[in-house]
Amino acid sequence: MKHHFLPKLALLFIAFLSGAAYAQDLPTVALFTTGGTIQSKGAHRQKLMEYGEGRVTPAELLADLPELKDIAIMEVHEISNVGSGSIGADHHLRLAKQITETLARDDISGAVVTHGTTTLEETAYFLQLTVKSEKPVIVVGAMRPFTAASRDGPFNLYNATRVAIEPTAVGKGVMIVLNDTIHSARFATKGHTYHVETFDSRDIGPIGYTDSDRVVFYRTPLVRHTANSEFDVMDLDELPKVDIVYGYQEASAAPIPALVEDGIDGLVLSSGSRNFGGEIKKAQAAGIIVVNSDRKGAGRVVLSDRRFSSGYITADNLNPQKSRILLRLALTKTSSLKEIQRIFNEY
């Protein structure tokens, strides 16, 4: 069509109409914000690692990224505005319930959760085990604050939203998107204190990439998750108490009786230590379930005859912090060692 034959006003009208129709066709994404570096402010643009100058609101986060309006309508749900060291069972339960309820609506395509990166993998794995939906759930953060000259937050949020509306992301469980890379929540762990390339899925690698032309997936997790998970937290207001004890040369066993005294239901070991044996036996005799994970963060902990006869659950290749999440959910269903080991084998 030769546009220059049309009066200018008519052209403007056509542009307005097509723009309006386009906006109506956009998918809606539910954005759940919790805080973290992606929302944090530093004193000036060169401050990449110190950012104690408050946090931006979800509205400021979105106003800063007008490009999102071209790809999705964002429906904001503010859960909290805290560092990820302050996230716990209360946040997990609220997120799992609200995301499940929101994704059940036909008008919602997917969910994005903003989160501090330090403990992001724990929340992502909790959601992977508890959100009852096939729709994509993407957990995103940033390594550099909102105010940094070279901040990574806006593009991470943009890419997380692209994955949340991506049809081929359906059924892949909860994903972590940072640094142009898509990881499964089951396998990713934070691996660097400040580099933007920090998430790493050690045993299997990332499942895809958010390239500029398209979102591309190369694999899909085969472990049980989301819609296919047996865990149901919709009626729960609290979770069993599980803690972690770190294993190292000459490790003191003193934390174990202290934690038992504190009322734990389960205990995860980051590896064994000769000194732990007696206190572990006492904890097990008191009904506490003990999971043997591994501090190396890659490779399975196999179910050897010795571990089996000592009553240990083995964590497969889940790191200690993720083993803790799975054990507390397992304990909402059973205290049978056999059943809990089955759960660790399947999730």
The footprint of ligand ASP (CB under 6 A) covers: 36-37, 83-84, 116-118, 141, 143
Q: In angstroms, what is the minimal distance from the CB of 134 to ligand ASP?
A: 28
Please say which residue, 86 or 334, places its beta carbon nearer to ligand ASP: 86
Which residues, at least 6 apart from 68, have a Cβ–Cβ distance to it below 8 Å? 62, 74, 157, 158, 161
Q: In angstroms, what is the minimal distance from the CB of 85 to ligand ASP?
A: 6
247 and 276 Cβ atoms separated by less than 8 Å: yes
Phi and psi, residue 73, nearest 5°: -95, 125
Residue 237 corresponds to which amino acid?
D
Q: Which of 170, 173, 172, 157 is nearest to 210 (CA)?
A: 157
Please say which residue, 142 or 330, places its beta carbon nearer to ligand ASP: 142
| Geometric angle at alpha carbon 163, from 158 and 166, rounded to 5° | 125
Residue 37 annotated as catalytic: yes
Please say which residue, 85 or 287, places its beta carbon nearer to ligand ASP: 85
Q: In angstroms, what is the minimal distance from the CB of 115 to ligand ASP?
A: 7
Please say which residue, 148 or 315, places its beta carbon nearer to ligand ASP: 148
Token pair 């000194």 in the structure block, residue: 275
Q: In angstroms, what is the minimal distance from the CB of 321 to ligand ASP?
A: 13
Please say which residue, 122 or 294, places its beta carbon nearer to ligand ASP: 122
* 157 Cα distance to chain centroid: 14
User: What does the buried/exposed string (b/e) look like for 24-49 if buried means 16 or more CB atoms within 10 Å of the residue's CB?
Assistant: eebbbbbbbbbbbbbbbbbeeeebbe
Q: In angstroms, what is the minimal distance from the CB of 210 to ligand ASP?
A: 19
Give the nearest residue (CB) to ligand ASP: 116
Q: Which of 28, 33, 34, 37 is catalytic?
A: 37
| Residues assigned a catalytic role | 37
